[in-house]
Structure formats: C-alpha cells, structure tokens
Amino acid sequence: MQQAWFDYLIILLYLAAVIGIGVYFSRGEKSSENYLLGGRNMPFLAVGIACMMSLLSSVSIVMVPGEIFNNGLTLFSLSGTVGLLLVIPCYLLFTRFYFRLGSFTPYEYLEYRYDSTVRAVVAFSAFYTRTMYLAMVLYTTAKIFQATYAWPPWFSILLVGVVGIVYTVMGGTKAVVWTDVLQFFVLAGGFAVVVTILCGRIDGGAAEAVATAFRDGHGMPQFSQPEFYGLSPYVRLLFWLLLWGAVVTPLTTSCSDQITIQRLLSTRNWKEGFKSQCVATVSGMLFTFVLWFTGLAIYTYYRQNPDPALGPGSGDAAFFHFVSTQLPSPVPGLFMAAMLAAIMSTLSSGMNSMAAVWLKEIHQKFINRNLAPSAEVTVSKYATLLIGVFAVGLALALELSGQWLTQSVSEVGTIFYLIGAAILPAFLFAVLSSRANAKLIWGYTAFAFGEGVAMNLWYALSRSSEQAWRLDPAAGFGWAGKLDFCYAGIPLAAGAALLLPYLVPALRRRWSGRITALLGLLALGFAEGMLVWYFYSQAMVREVPLARSFAFFLPISFLGAFSILWFCPKQPREKYQGLTIATLGRPLLIPAARTMEISAASSENA
C-alpha cells in the first residue's frame, strides 16, 4: 500500500528526533558508569517510562490483540493483573541487593552467594538468549511491515537496526532512556488516535466492543469451565498454571532481566529505583488494558464488518489490516512511527544492556581485567555496535535463508533457555536462605535441563503426530497416543547408574565424578518428564490422539529443589551475611578491596 507523503514525513521527523537525542548525549561519556548507567543519576520518572517501554515490544503489540481476536482474553488475564501487581514486591525482594553491591549486572550477586561458575552460566545464557531475541524481533517486525505496508523486509530491518545502533552507540543509557520517553509519547499518541477511530467505526462504540466480544466467547469463557481448573496437559489453558506463570514471570524479571535492572540501577539509590518501578508498573498496566481493549474492539469491528481477507486464526494480522485499509492519512504514518518506537525501544535497550553484560561478565572476566575507565567506554561502544550489527545480520540471514535457519536459531535458543532454567532458583534461594549453595544450583540445572528436553519432545512429537492423524487417520496415533514405559524406564535406570559413583567420597571430589553425577541428574530429569508423559497418556488418551498443550508444565523440579534447600547445611557467614533478606541490615563480609568499592557505591546509593 502506497503511503501519502505526509505519512512518510511524520516517520522521517520521528527518526531525526531519535538520532538527535543520541548526538546530544554523546558528549561527556568518560566512564562505563556514565555510558551504561547514566552516571547513576537518572530521574526516576524517565527511568520508569523506559523500563515499561523496554519490555513493550512489537511482539506484544502483535501477540496480545491477536490472541484475543483468535481465542479470547484468558491467556493474559492473570499475568496482566496478578503478575503486574507482584512486580513491586519482587523489586523489594531482589533489587536492593544490586544497589548495595554497586553492581552493573545482577549476575555479580551470584558470585558472592555461590561461585564464579554459577555466575558465568547464568550470564552466558542471558547474553545468548537476549542477543538472539533482538534478531528475532527485527525479523518478525519486518514481516509485519511487509504484510501491512508492503515494505521489503530487508528495508525494515536495516532502517530500524541502523537508526537504533547509531543513537545507542553514540549516547549510551542516557540516549536510550530519553529516547524511550519520546517513544512512549509517540506510541501513546498513535494508539490513542487509532483506538478512538476504531471505537467510532463500531456500532455501539466502546461499550459494545467489549460486550460483543464477551458474548461471543472472546472474553474469559474458560473461567466457567470445570476443566480449566484441572491439570490436564491436553487442555489449552489451565488456571493453576496461568497463576503459577503470573507469579514466576515477575520474579524472574525482577531478579535477572538485565534490561530492566540496568535501567533501575541508573537511578541515584534503591528508593529512587523503587519510584521508577512504581511508574513502570502503573504505566505498564495502563498499556496492558489498552492492548486488551484493542483486541476486543478489533474482534467486534470485523464481527460487524466481515472482511474476506481475514480468515480463521488471522488475529495477528487483524489490527494491522485495519490500520492499513481503514485509516485516512496521516494516521497510518502516525501509527507507523508508534510501531517503530516500540521496536527501537526494545532494540536499543537490548543492545545497551547486552553491552554491559559483555563488558562486566565476559570482557573483564576473561579477556582484560584491568581496563581504564576510558577503555571501558570504548569496549562498551564496540560491544553495542557489534551486538547491533550481529542482530541486523542475523535478521537479514533469517529473511534470506528461509525456514531452516529460523528453526536452527530457535533450537539453539531452546538449549540456552533450558540451561537458564536455574536462573530463578539461583536468585530466589540466594535471597531467602543462608543454605543456598552452588551444588544445589548445578544439580537443579542438570535435572531441569533433562526435564525440559522431555517436555519439549512431548509437545513437538505429539503435536506433529496429531496433525498427521487429522490429515490421514490411517497414520495412527503415533506419539499422540499412549507412551510405552520403556521411554521413561531406560533413562531412569541410566540416571541412577550414573549417580552411583558420586556416593564414593573419593570420586565425589574429582571432576570426573561431578560431571558423571550431573549427567545422571540430567538423565533423571529426562526420565521424570517422560514419566509425566507416560502417566498422562495412559490415563487420558482414548478414542483420538491428543497433543500436549503449549502452556502445560508441572513445577516438580522447582518444588523439589526448594524442599531440598532447607535440608542443606548453612554456608559460611561471609557467603550470605548482608546478602539475604534476613541479614539485609548487617555488614558485608567480603574481601577488603571489594568492600571499599561497595562502600563507595553504597554511600552514593544511600
């Protein structure tokens, strides 16, 4: 679709303003603290808006209205209410420790509580998954613009990527935060105009938009269905698992998400950071409700005005189809600028935060420990540039290569997500108990990795078998039928055998014994996942094949590790004093050189 020249003028003015902010803040960046944390003196209101914008990506803008259009509001009902309300208590649980340590990243805390190996594996997992995420955001966004505005994907990737890289490299965190503030108002303005026009096109207005969607089952119909409150893996959504996710997600974000935590650490102290978190939570809830309403309204509009271009399951395209076909110029240009704002906010904050991870968790740990302040800034800028170029390059490769590379990136990403399964237990156990230790975290990581592999296999194999049966019932139930016990029994026996050497004290102290034990726990985790598959398939598969729901999981390993924690011996006092909730007010017992650095940071953050 050809846009009017005025639409493009709006987009160009917006891009020029973004680059101008980067140029303005490129002056005076003489230390990594200034470049990556804004000198730890950023105003709380700006930081709060930036935190909200960093997590409100184009993926959310597509996924939330699309899911509501296709299936209803239930998937987001608890995460958008309970989950957001828990963010503030989660801030108090974790972030105060990062301010006290004067940290650049949350992973530094893990080395004090455990050891350098736990810190390294969590940091590497975060670095890989976030960098891959940036490339996938660029790639999926380009596809949206191609379908909606007929922009070539390569053009969208280069436009967003290059502009984002330029202002992020030049201005660092200050440029990112203040650009996010600008982008907040652009996004809010774009949505306000589009939603107002949308309500005007619906017979009955905003009230009817909600009422029609709820009458047609696109509200929260599952709450009245008995199976919603069960624990069947063959039901798409389950109340208890949605509630678990609504609790775990803010815990994980608050303890380990570098993008959010780095923004909060750029304020003067934890109290200012707390104000920022409150701003982010309130504004996030408002935008969540706007996205909810947008999904309901788009459904009602096309319910009243059917469009043959939108078939079943086309919810992801419905909102953008409305923008491109129903709105007069210059509204599409305003909304395009709003979409670019959401994308570049995610991209810039991701590049800036991953540059901090590279500098503090990789470069200064493994390459050069003795960097001068000016050299830290140089390394950070080069890291930002290279991360951005890599994300753009991978996004272009995904576009040019087709599905096989996308699948490969997703598969490798899955491995790192599985390794990162221990992120929440590592942080949560550390702040709650003086008994938290590296052995427990490594054991949990291995077990949860095996469990995750089994659950992913269950989903992929049962889904493909069910689809094959629907096309040709002669294909049989396959993996969507009853599972044989041998698939659980063999890894169960192998895991037990691999753990036996660890019972010998002499072998327990050797690396070979430890690695064998970890492999045994991995096998046992895989066996546990396969046992869950076995029992459910034997009990519930009857006349038709059944595929596991994408949202199903049981937190067996997490609850097991949490129970084991309280039977572990207390760690030496220097490993936990001042670093757990119970000892927060006590002095830290850590090496003297580091104590001086922390004292200086703490006095500034008081």
**CATH label of the domain that carries residue 174:** 1.20.1730.10
Is the Cβ–Cβ distance between 590 and 461 less than 8 Å? no
Is the Cβ–Cβ distance between 190 and 335 less than 8 Å? yes
Residues 74 and 105 in one domain: yes
Whether residue 5 has pLDDT greater than 80:
no
- What would the pLDDT profile of 394-451 be if each residue is shown by its tens digit? 888 877 775 555 555 555 555 556 667 788 999 999 999 999 999 999 999 999 999 9
Structure tokens at 481: 């039928």
Nearest to 114 by CA among 589, 594, 576: 576
Q: Does residue 579 lie in a domain region?
A: no
Question: What pLDDT score does 411 carry?
Answer: 52
Residues 377 and 289 in one domain: yes
Average pLDDT, the chain: 86
Q: Does residue 604 lie in a domain region?
A: no
401, 431, 460 - which closes a domain: 401
What is the percent of the chain with per-residue pLDDT over 90, rounded to a whole number?
47
pTM greater than 0.85: yes
Question: What pLDDT score does 232 carry?
Answer: 94
Task: Give the mean pLDDT of 54-83.
Answer: 84
Residues 84 and 198 in one domain: yes
Distance separating alpha carbons of residues 281 and 85, to the nearest angstrom: 7
Distance separating alpha carbons of residues 5 and 14, to the nearest angstrom: 14
Q: How far lies 567's CA from each of 110, 253, 309, 537, in Å?
A: 21, 28, 60, 34
Distance separating alpha carbons of residues 430 and 285, to the nearest angstrom: 29
Question: What pLDDT score does 560 carry?
Answer: 95
Point out the least confidently predicted range of 268-277, 303-312, 459-468.
303-312
Point out the least confidently predicted range of 15-24, 100-109, 125-134.
15-24
Whether residue 259 has pLDDT greater than 80:
yes
Point out the least confidently predicted range of 3-12, 311-320, 329-338, 381-390.
3-12
Question: What pLDDT score does 29 carry?
Answer: 61
- What would the pLDDT profile of 322-368 be if each residue is shown by its tens digit? 887 888 877 777 777 777 777 777 888 888 899 999 999 989 888 88
Whether residue 594 has pLDDT greater than 50:
yes
- What would the pLDDT profile of 293-305 be if each residue is shown by its tens digit? 999 999 999 999 9
Whether residue 546 has pLDDT greater than 90:
yes
Residues 385 and 473 in one domain: no
Is the Cβ–Cβ distance between 298 and 321 less than 8 Å? no
What is the C-alpha radius of gyration for the chain, rounded to an integer number of angstroms?
25
Distance separating alpha carbons of residues 205 and 210, to the nearest angstrom: 9
Indicate the SS3 state at residue 547. coil
Range of the domain at 235: 1-401
- What would the pLDDT profile of 368-397 be if each residue is shown by its tens digit? 888 888 888 889 889 999 999 998 988 888
Residues 564 and 503 in one domain: yes
Question: What pLDDT score does 531 carry?
Answer: 97
Distance separating alpha carbons of residues 299 and 66, to the nearest angstrom: 9
The more confidently predicted of residues 11 and 351 is 351
DSSP-derived letter for residue 81 is I
Tallying the residues shown for the chain, one arrives at 606
What is the percent of the chain with per-residue pLDDT over 70, rounded to a whole number?
91
Q: Does residue 12 lie in a domain region?
A: yes
Point out the least confidently predicted range of 194-198, 316-320, 416-420, 518-522.
416-420
Indicate the SS3 state at residue 232. coil
333, 367, 401 - which closes a domain: 401
Question: What pLDDT score does 389 carry?
Answer: 92
Q: Does residue 598 lie in a domain region?
A: no
Residues 248 and 317 in one domain: yes
Task: Give the mean pLDDT of 582-594.
Answer: 76
Q: Does residue 413 lie in a domain region?
A: no
Neighbour count for residue 154 (Cβ, 10 Å) = 15
Q: How far lies 369's CA from each of 201, 361, 364, 375, 514, in Å?
A: 61, 11, 4, 11, 29
401, 432, 455 - which closes a domain: 401
Indicate the SS3 state at residue 346. helix
Task: Give the mean pLDDT of 212-233.
Answer: 92
**How many structural domains is the chain composed of?**
2
Whether residue 289 has pLDDT greater than 50:
yes
Whether residue 308 has pLDDT greater than 50:
yes
Residues 373 and 435 in one domain: no
Residues 195 and 281 in one domain: yes
Residues 345 and 202 in one domain: yes
Question: What pLDDT score does 596 carry?
Answer: 45
Task: Give the mean pLDDT of 550-574.
Answer: 92
Residues 95 and 192 in one domain: yes
Task: Give the mean pLDDT of 43-48.
Answer: 94
Residues 432 and 333 in one domain: no
Question: What pLDDT score does 20 carry?
Answer: 79
Nearest to 320 by CA among 14, 137, 66, 3: 66
Q: Does residue 380 lie in a domain region?
A: yes
Residues 438 and 484 in one domain: yes
The more confidently predicted of residues 534 and 2 is 534
Distance separating alpha carbons of residues 441 and 423, to the nearest angstrom: 9
Whether residue 482 has pLDDT greater than 90:
yes
Question: What pLDDT score does 30 carry?
Answer: 66
Structure tokens at 103: 């940290």
Q: Does residue 383 lie in a domain region?
A: yes
Question: What pLDDT score does 9 carry?
Answer: 77
Q: Does residue 74 lie in a domain region?
A: yes
